[in-house]
Structure 1
Amino acid sequence: MRSAGTVAELVQRQWGDHRPGLRHQDTVLTHHQVASGAAARAALLTDLLSAGSEPHLGVLLDNTPEFPLWLSAAALAGAAVAGINPTRRGAELARDILHTGCRVLVTERAHLPLLDGLDLPGVRMLVTDTDAYAELLTPYAGAEPGDTARPDIGPGTRMLLYFTSGSTGAPKAAICTQGRLAAAGQSLVDHFGVRREDVHYICMPMFHGNAVIADWAPALAGGAAVALRRRFSASGFLDDVRAHGATYFTYVGRAVQYLLATPERPDDREHPLRLGFGTEAGAVDAARFRERFGVRLVEGYGSSEGGAAIQRTPDTPERAIGRASARDDLAVVDPETGEERATAVFDGAGRLTNGAEAIGELVNRGRTPFEGYWRNAAAEAERVRGGWYWTGDLFFRDAEGFLYFAGRTDDRLRVDSENLAAAMIENILARWQDAAAVAVYAVPDPVAGDQVMAALAMREGAAFDPSAFAAFLAAQSDLGTKMAPAFVRIVPAMPVTATNKVHRVGLRREGFWSGGPVWRKGTGTGYEPFGDEQLSALLREYEAHGRGAFCPQPPDGRGIQARPAIEDTAARRVDPH
């Protein structure tokens, strides 16, 4: 079968295929029923979108059958889906919906409290689990994909507007066309040998590119089924896999950690899974996952905007991501000068010894498939400079050309697979009346990604009160669930550069080694003193997960400010349900 040029073509191919195509709890829809449902929604959407407006709809849903049905419907209608993140709050949530020009917002009753009081002029809301929604769809029940697909749809038709954060503050909506999404799906079909009898388990949130591009799209392109989990559950993972016959799933590093934290069972290897594909699991946890569950995890890298990709080959070293894909000319460069960084040097234990010279920003000097940001020319110009695509991610490269992920640039953070902008968190923390200056930056998470650290310079006469600070955070309606600082350090004065900008490079380099008071978010919402004993436990956790090279190093061999011993909370793990 020839490769499809658009997602709409892939949806139309489902028509007449009566094999199971979509599974969710006790619901099973055939591929034909999925195509039929998509056609009905596409016809409704065409009638709802007013002439002259952008053909955009927002989807604020958990992973229910309605999400892939509306993705397929948008493809047929030539519309673009903006995945709306339910961890956003208040004005920031409204901004996401309005910025992307959504004239229709598809949601469910569980998320209606998030929308209470928001000013969303001109936005038509559809609530999927209501009688009114069912009645609205009824007249379109006989629609067929071939009838509802717009004839002018092509590879360049916008398909996704998915948010990614960066140094400019507010999340940017990256554009993904039908052609790029269809090609990405087909590429994974070819790379992993996706079969029609496969079942792709989607437990990562579908408002993220991870689930749509790396899980839903290859299933659609390969004729495989998908199985949905409303929200990720470590304790329910294997039960779902067995119930749905899942053979493939995508992950982020934190999800792998949660799965490994579940109690071991004698039947951990009794399941049909053969492959997991994702990012930031780390070599140590990937090995533990394979040993325990018998499933190979394949680490990949692709910037959210599609501007650079790294492919893993059989000879890729354990801790590396892989080499540049055939289409890309990737380099690790000094972000200030553009000069290539030194080749990585490792000690006998495989730890990087010349990080200061080897770590730099990953750039693509070749032709890039980056398709731009929605109505954000300044962000596009920042992303593509001097003809190069700048990923905003830190890497180092060994003598054989293999690339190793080293973190995010100074004002970007990735927490539990969520991209956050430091500036946005700073704007919220700056409201605290006791703080004279605030800086937010990333410190590496011991397992994957980053944790949020905030440096606070207190106003004259004010002292840091952890209870008051926690209460302040709880009162901020726009503080997303991933934004609260995991660490707070108190500085006598905010360090600045010669141009009076906050010296984030220095703050990040020091990390926990501040020589002053440091507090760590404890159980619940409070903050607890973080002393040398707790730091030692944290350092052991870095080493246990093979991330010791990424841990901030002491500038002079000293520990952080000594404090009375307190209960060690560094190794605490949480298993979400």
Structure 2
Amino acid sequence: MLAKSIQEAMPMIEEKIPHIEYYSYTGKDVPDPLPDTVAASLTKIPHRPLEEVLWNASSATPLNAHKQTMNDKLYYIFTSGTTGLPKAAVIRHHRYIWIGMILHYLFNITDDDVLYLTLPLYHNNAGTIGTCQGIIFGTSIVLRDKFSASQFWDDCIKYNCSVAMYIGELCRYLLAQPKKASDSQHKVRLMFGNGLRQEIWKDFKNRFNVKQIGEVYGSTEGNANVANYDFKEGACGIIPCCVPFICRLVFPVTVIKVDTQTGEYVRDKNGLCKLIKPGEVGEIVGKIRPDAGQAYPGYVNDEATKKKILFNVFKYGDSAFLSGDLVEMDDYGYLYFRDRTGDTYRWKGENVSTNEVEAVIQKVVKLSDCVVFGVSIPHCDGKAGMAVIADPNRIVDLSSLFTELTKRLPAYSIPLFVRITSQIELTGSFKLSKTNLEKDGFDINRIKDPLYFLDRKVGTYVLLDASLYEDILSGRLLL
């Protein structure tokens, strides 16, 4: 708007000083020294020394058009939209400072550090947690406009980075790169973020010689945040649950028990939720207590916000934010991510974890992108598993894949369908998107990629043709 208004005003200025040239707003390179005609024109523009203007400036406090508070909206951040459309979440001033400050001190980041950011600033990790380190605490930040797996460590060496952020599948992409000397010649002591899979945690740390990996758990819109601040391998955070009663009263985040068969929240005889015990899997929730600074800002859309709130959690009338994430807790209170509540499906009367199947397939096919989801089949209860593997060079051996899956997964978890594609769409936060793939299902009329079906009689995946497709739809082929 400023540039536009100046451009609109230029004809009037040129009328008074006909031979002026303006460079800043026309895209011209500014010459040094300025041409004589321009220099002469500038002398005709009224000007006063800056010191004189400052000396004579009023000392009165400027009038406020609006009295700002820490609870005001700072900006909106859109969720990544891995299984649906992104939704606008509200980020307030206090959240920006609070979440950045917590991680700053938990991970001992200082103003002597240099933080490498190659994540999109329009998402919460880089845009809030990352930028806060520079804006609030003075840590130097190196920005790269686009992530490059091949240049990541070279950049860290070039700019003397000591801290870096990751998210989603970024660490897996780095691990999939050919080994080279710069893998361990950098000075990065700490990497922090979320989404580092437990299966590759140790390999990543050892190969790249990163001494500390700080996994953070949280969501853009939620109030349930925990961190692995003592760098326990594989953990996404810790809750001090050795004293459950104190934890319930003081700690704002907890894990409630979920029936793994029905997905329902387990309640006691009084109708209140139960905390999980070590070795159990439950859902992370964040207690909503606006008076204690534990509000749930939610989304811009009120209906979407209401769907994420559970009532009567630990006492009648209270409420909590539902994260949708299932975690397992050990004896010390460390939490290990297991799955999303929406990322499981039932087949043959059993629950299948898409996260588990994806991790196994990626291990077998050497870290290629892979997503797993359930597809509905006529005349069948539940959903059958489908894996979509990114394999642009068509090098995946499907017979070997099936053999390896039988060694590592129960029979009901092995996908019935495998789709080979050139690439899988990524969200802005490096998460693999399932939305369009789920819409395609196993419909050979929509899918142009090679699509295979598991023929257990021959012990391998076979190409799904029109005849086999009709047999599955009609129920002639018993599954």
Displacement of 1:240 = 0.9
Which of 331, 334, 358 is matched with 2:255 structurally?
331
Alpha-carbon distance in structure 2 between the residues aligned to 1:181 and 1:134: 38
Query: 1:283: how far off?
Result: 3.4
Distance in 2 between residues matched to 1:274 and 1:237, nearest whole Å = 15
Helix, strand or coil at the partner of 2:183: coil
Q: Which residue of 2 aligns with 1:477?
A: none
Deviations 1:150-180 (A, max 9, x none): 7633212212211226799532211011221
Kindly indicate whether the alpha-carbon contact (under 8 Å) linking 1:202 and 1:215 is maintained by their aligned counterparts in 2. Answer: yes
Distance 1:148 1:217 in 2: 28
| Residues 533 and 520 (structure 1), Cα distance of their counterparts in 2 relative to 1, 3 Å cut | farther
Aligned ranges 1:460-539 → 2 under 5 Å: 491-493=377-379, 495=381, 506-507=382-383, 511=385, 520-521=388-389, 523-524=391-392, 533-538=400-405
Counterpart of 1:492, as a letter, is P
Deviations 1:84-136 (A, max 9, x none): xxxxxxxxxxxxxxxxxxxxxxxxxxxxxxxxxxxxxxxxxxxxxx966899x
Give the number of the structure with larger relative contact order, counting CA–CA contacts within 8 Å between residues 6 or more apart: 1
2:16 aligns with: none
Instruction: Map residues 359-378 of structure 1 onto 2, 5 A cutoff.
Output: 359-365=281-287, 367=289, 368-374=294-300, 376-378=301-303
1:184 is matched with: 99
Q: Tell me how far apart the structure 2 counterparts of residues 262 and 273 of structure 1 sit (CA, whole Å).
A: 18
Q: Is the 8 A contact 1:195 1:224 kept in 2?
A: yes
CA distance in 1, matches of 2:105, 2:159: 23
For structure 1, which runs of at least 5 residues remain unmatched after alignment? 1-40, 48-129, 136-141, 346-357, 414-440, 452-481, 496-505, 512-517, 544-550, 568-577
The offset of 1:276, in angstroms, is: 0.4
Inter-partner Cα distance in structure 2 for 1:189 and 1:175: 22
Amino acid in structure 2 at the alignment position of 1:444: N
1:391 Cα shift? 0.6
| 1:170 aligns to 2:85 (yes or no) | yes
Q: What is the CA–CA distance in structure 1 between the aligned matches of 2:376 and 2:393, rounded to whole Å?
A: 19
- Note the C-alpha offset of 1:318: 2.9
Q: CA deviation at 1:407?
A: 1.1
For structure 2, the residue ranges without an aligned partner over 5 or more in a row are 7-23, 30-49, 55-60, 241-249, 268-273, 312-318, 346-351, 363-368, 417-453, 463-479
- Contact 2:288–2:296 (CA under 8 A) maintained in structure 1: no
Q: How far off its partner does 1:237 sit?
A: 0.5
Give the Cα separation in 1 of the matches to 2:323 and 2:213.
24
Counterpart position of 2:411: 554
Q: Identify the match of residue 269 of structure 1 among 181, 184, 191.
A: 184
Partner amino acid, structure 1, of 2:255: A
Cα separation, 2, equivalents of 1:284 and 1:556? 18
Letter in 1 for 2:298: G
Matching residue within 194, 197, 209 for 1:294: 209
Taking the aligned partners of 1:162 and 1:373, their CA distance within structure 2 comes to: 9
Pair 1:253–1:556, CA change in 2 (3 A) = closer
2:402–2:459 contact (8 Å) kept in structure 1:
no
Q: The residue matched to 1:227 in structure 2 has which SS?
A: strand
| Alignment TM-score, normalising by the size of structure 2 | 0.58
1:491 Cα offset (Å)? 2.5
Equivalent in 414, 438, 444 of residue 355 of structure 2: 444
User: What aligned pairs does 1:398-477 form with structure 2 within 5 A after superposition?
Assistant: 398-410=330-342, 443-444=354-355
Distance (whole Å) between structure 1 residues aligned to residue 189 and residue 252 of structure 2: 29
Q: Provide Cα deviations, 1:265-300, integer angstroms capped at 9, x if missing partner.
A: 234222221110011213342222222222122111
Pair 1:444–1:536, CA change in 2 (3 A): farther
Output the amino acid matched with 1:330.
T
Q: Quick one: structure 1 residues 286 and 337, their matched pair in 2 at CA, closer, same or farther if it must change by over 3 Å?
A: closer
Work out whether residues 358 and 372 of structure 2, in 8 Å CA contact, stay in contact via their aligned partners in 1.
no
Question: In structure 2, do the counterparts of structure 1 residues 147 and 537 end up closer, same or farther at CA, with 3 Å as the change threshold?
Answer: farther
Contact 2:281 2:328 in 1 (8 A): yes
Paired with 1:170 and 1:360, the residues of 2 have a C-alpha distance of 26
Q: Tell me how far 1:234 sits from its aligned partner.
A: 0.8
Q: Who is 2:322 aligned against?
A: 390
Q: Does 1:159 align with 2:70?
A: no
- Kindly indicate whether the alpha-carbon contact (under 8 Å) linking 1:319 and 1:404 is maintained by their aligned counterparts in 2: yes
Which residue in 2 is equivalent to 1:309? 225
Q: 1:233 to 1:538 in 2, by over 3 A?
A: farther
Instruction: In structure 1, give the amino acid aligned to 2:214.
Output: V
Contact 1:532–1:561, Cα closer than 8 Å, also in 2: no
Cα distance in structure 1, aligned partners of 2:108 and 2:400 = 49
SS of the aligned residue for 1:444 comes to helix
Rg comparison, structure with higher value: 2
Give yes or no for contact 2:238–2:335 (8 Å, CA) kept in 1: yes
Change (3 A) 1:489 1:527: farther
Q: Is the 8 Å Cα contact of residues 216 and 226 (structure 2) preserved in structure 1?
A: yes
Amino acid in the other structure paired with 1:297:
I
Q: Is the 8 A contact 1:280 1:448 kept in 2?
A: no
**CA apart distance, 1:406:** 0.8
Q: Secondary structure of 1:360's partner?
A: strand
Conserved? CA contact 1:343–1:396, under 8 Å: no
Quick one: distance in 2 between partners of 1:555 and 1:564? Answer: 15
Aligned alpha-carbon RMSD (Å):
4.5
- 1:308 offset after TM fit, Å? 0.4
SS in 2 for 1:159: strand
TM-score by length of 1: 0.49
What's the % identity of the aligned pairs?
A: 25
Cα distance between partner residues in 2 of 1:265 and 1:199: 23
The C-alpha deviation readout for 1:365-406, integer Å capped at 9, x for no partner, is 4533421211x1111111122111111111122233322211
- Report the secondary structure of 1:396's partner residue: strand
After the TM superposition, which segments of 4 or more aligned residues of structure 1 sit over 4 Å from their partners? 43-47, 130-135, 146-151, 165-169, 445-451, 484-490, 518-522, 525-528, 555-560, 563-567
